[in-house]
Amino acid sequence: MDGLAQGFMTSEQVPGAIAAVVSGEEVVLRGYGVADLDDRTPVTPDDVRFEIGSITKLFTWVAVMMLVEEGRLDLRADVSGYLPTFAMPGSEPLTLAHLMSHRAGFAESYAIFDQDIAALPRAQALAAAAPEQVFARGEVTSYSNWGAALAGHIVEEVSGQPWEDFVQERILDPLGMDETTLAERLRQPDQPPLARSYRIQGGIAHPAFRIDIGAFGPAGGTASTAADMARFLQFLMGDGALDGARLLQTETMAQMRTRLFDDRPHAADMAHGFQARPRFGTMIYGHGGGVNEFISNLVFIPEIGAGVFISQNGGTGASLPFLAPNMILAALAAEAGLEAHTVQPVPDAAARAADAAGRYLTNRRMFSGPAQLLVALSPLNVTALADGALLMPTATIPMPSRFDPIAPDLWQNAQGDRVTVIRDAQGQVARLADGTGAHTHERLRGLADPVWLSAGFALAALLATTTFLGLLWRHGLRGGSRGGTLAAAVALAGAVAVWGLVAAGVAVGLVAARLGSEFLFDQPQRTFEVFLGMGDVVAVVSVALVATLLIVWRAPGWGLWRRLHHTAFALVLVGLAGLMLHWGLAFGGPI
């Protein structure tokens, strides 16, 4: 642990970190680096808290299972019965099984990061941030913070206690997690301070832009110490009790390690809220988290009583919280005699890899409005190799990783991560499930691929430039007639609009690179508003430009090449406008 921390923290400029390794009865606690770069406060395992982000969801799922044990919740029942006055998104019945497995079919909801919405009472905040249902219930894994927050609201409505009180009294207090806070506003004077977190840019650490997710706390509002998280690890790996305090029955703990949907048993998926990933010839469970530049991970193998928790308060990468736990568990698994299953050759591996190759977009995204662009900028590229292997990036390794075939439609890399493809009724690859178990990625086909948006921008910019050059060549508009001059003026307006859009896009990129997550969460950003406004202008001008085509082909004094150029510019511009409308970049409303 010490060696990995030293190496990764140096290479990725991590200011500070906390760690807990549990192996049987042995518990190793560590603090590394500093909690505050200004006063150089050293990190210790029990005197400073780190935000653990989405690991908070595990407390919510334990609370749900407590109420299931008591007969007050049913994982397969429509949750509308527990919240009769709440309007659920979508038209199909929604269950806790869907929420725990991230299969409710919800789009992403960035509104949960809106500070005004997060400050509302939970029911109001959930209603204000409610996402679209974009997939049928149970069919597609699409990670949802909003869904976890809804589960927290169900807990409090059924129990009659606020979620924070329920988790504090029934989970944290019995487990002796005295230094853990469920929201910063609930911190007691005798509890440790929160470490500062940092965004690293150009080799310089800047204090992180901070948000308080408030009402959405059941999805990620917790901060804890290494010592407290070691106790939580011990509980999660056990039979439902810790040091004489029983929270769940043994059968319930075993149930939590099973999957509510088992359509990809040999690949990663969700198990009652845990990320469940085949590795080392067994299954490892856990959850990751990231908020306010804190990055955290908790993983464990219950059958050998081995688990790791690591959190860092910034850095240029996430190797320490995500690679280091796997390396430690690999050593402990080998000590315990666990071995990976023997891989059998896959006869049609090359053909299956060719089927899987292509471009994908994560299903954890917005499906309407300008926020669609955030995911469109970074599609997942999967390349097939001649021997049936796949080459693709992962969340933990920045460069593409090689995944070798280990079974039909199943591939594994050297770190043990597995990916699989999911086929539709016709046998075509519809989506890819990655190695996290929490995310799937939709196969891009035709105009749904954002590459066409990039091509549209490029062609429009090229033709806008040649329109300017034509203006210089002719020393003015020179339309040959009043109508022809008007058409030339509209083309010039289109060229100005396109280059205004390009300039606004460059400004957006520069500001986003400078601000990091602040650009997304501190809305409205003026540069992005200008960019969207220019998208509206381009859409309007494109219609006007198409309307001039009849004039251009009849106007005197226009040569064939000029007419063709004007026509091409009009068609490209209207095509770009259509793509921008599709991606919410024109008349798409606020982010």
Residue pLDDT, tens place only, 159-168? 999 999 999 9
What would the mean pLDDT of 12-25 be, rounded to a whole number?
97
CA 291 to each of CA 311, 312, 317, 385, 417: distance values in angstroms, whole numbers, following the listed order: 11, 11, 14, 36, 24
Cβ–Cβ under 8 Å, residues 32 and 16: yes
139: left (phi over 0), alpha (psi -120 to 50) or beta: alpha
Instruction: Enter the DSSP assignment of 170.
Output: I
CA 428 to each of CA 314, 392, 433, 496: distance values in angstroms, whole numbers, following the listed order: 41, 20, 15, 44
Q: How far apart are CA 488 and CA 213, in angstroms?
A: 52
Which among 466, 539, 468 is positioned nearest to 501, based on CA atoms?
A: 539
What would the mean pLDDT of 317-338 be, rounded to a whole number?
94
Mean pLDDT, the chain, integer: 94
pLDDT-derived band at 489 (thresholds 50, 70, 90) equals: very high
DSSP letter string, 38-87: TTTEEP-SSS-BEE-GGGHHHHHHHHHHHHHHTTS--TTSBGGGT-TTS-
Residue 41 has pLDDT above 80, yes or no: yes
Which H or E element spans position 498?
helix 482-515
CA torsion through residues 499, 501, 502, 504, sign:
positive
Contact partners, residue 222, CB within 8 Å, separation at least 6: 51, 52, 55, 56, 59, 180, 181, 182
pLDDT-derived band at 475 (thresholds 50, 70, 90) equals: low
Total length of the chain = 591
Q: How far apart are CA 42 and CA 104, in angstroms?
A: 43
**Residues 558, 560, 566, 571, Cα dihedral to 10°:** 150
What would the mean pLDDT of 490-507 be, rounded to a whole number?
95
Model pTM score: 0.94
Return the minimum-mean-pLDDT range out of 97-106, 135-144, 431-440, 520-529: 520-529
Long-range contacts of 320-323 (CB under 8 A, 24+ apart): 320/4, 320/5, 320/8, 320/9, 320/12, 320/14, 320/17, 321/17, 321/288, 321/295, 321/296, 321/297, 322/288, 322/295, 322/297, 322/395, 322/396, 323/4, 323/8, 323/396, 323/397, 323/415
What would the mean pLDDT of 252-276 be, rounded to a whole number?
96
> In terms of pLDDT, which residue wins out, 473 or 18?
18
CA torsion through residues 220, 225, 228, 230, sign:
positive
- How many CB atoms within 10 Å of residue 458? 13
Phi, psi of 17 (to 5 degrees): -155, 155
Cα 122 to chain centroid distance, Å, stands at 22
Return the minimum-mean-pLDDT range out of 173-177, 408-412, 481-485, 539-543: 481-485
pLDDT score of 342: 77
Cα 336 to chain centroid distance, Å, stands at 34
The separation between the first and the last C-alpha atoms of the chain, rounded to the nearest angstrom, is 42
Cβ–Cβ under 8 Å, residues 205 and 276: no
Give me 469's structure tokens: 């050059």
Q: How many alpha carbons fall within 13 Å on the CB side of residue 159?
A: 24
pLDDT score of 304: 95
- How many CB atoms within 10 Å of residue 419? 24
pLDDT score of 517: 82
> In terms of pLDDT, which residue wins out, 519 or 466?
466
Say if strands 50-51 and 198-201 run parallel, antiparallel, or are unpaired: unpaired
